[in-house]
Structure formats: structure tokens, C-alpha cells
Amino acid sequence: MPLVSEAEVEHLKKRSEEIPCLIFKHSTRCNISSIAKYRIESDWIFGADETETYFLDLLKYRTTSGFVADTFGVHHESPQLLLIINGECVYDASHLDITVDELKEALEAIASK
């Protein structure tokens, strides 16, 4: 679902107490971002009951993107994938490090704690 406002980021933060939430920060003008988006979409293995996914268009919602970086204490990058659990960013990847396999490993590591 789209992520467009600070209020929605706050909602996502609360929602992450119930289900892991993902934010995919995407620049529609960046080829690497398009490749990362394609790879995530084509390899996606998670059901709706496992994660809740949010899409942030960095060009349209720059202020929201900055708010995400400040709220979760991450350096802004594009593209970027953030995993939010219990209101905190527990995993982030950028550029071509964004893969479903890496995300799966992160979720499994967190679940085993």
C-alpha cells in the first residue's frame, strides 16, 4: 500500500507491533531502484498474514521519506528496504543488496530470538 504522509508512518509504526511491516523506498527515475523493485516483486514469497508492505515514492513524497529516516534512525538511501517490528527498524538494505532471500533471513533471525 502507498505510504504518503507522516500520519501513515505513525500508523505503520503502531501496526508493526502486530505484524512485521516493510517500507520500500523507490525513486521512479533511478534504474537501480527499478531493478530492485522488479527483483522484490518477482521473487516475493510472503503472504499477507506474514508482512504488511508499504511503498514510498521518494520523488512525490520527499518530506515523508525524510520523516521515515528520522523516525527509524536510518540513513536515507534509494532504493531502500526497511523492516519495522515493534516500532523499530530492525533491518535495512539498499540498492542491489535488496533481495527477498536476505529479507527472509532477517525475518527468520528475528523470529528465532
Q: Which domains, and CATH codes, for the chain?
A: 6-111 (3.40.30.10)
Determine the pLDDT at residue 15.
98
Mean of per-residue pLDDT scores for the chain = 94
Residue 113 has pLDDT above 80, yes or no: no
Determine the pLDDT at residue 41.
93
41-53 tens-digit pLDDT: 999 999 989 999 9
As a whole number, mean pLDDT of residues 74-98 equals 95
Amino acid at 100: V
* Cis check: omega of the bond before 20, within 30 degrees of 0: no
As a whole number, mean pLDDT of residues 6-17 equals 98
Residue 99 has pLDDT above 90, yes or no: yes
CA 99-100-102 angle, to 5 degrees, is 70
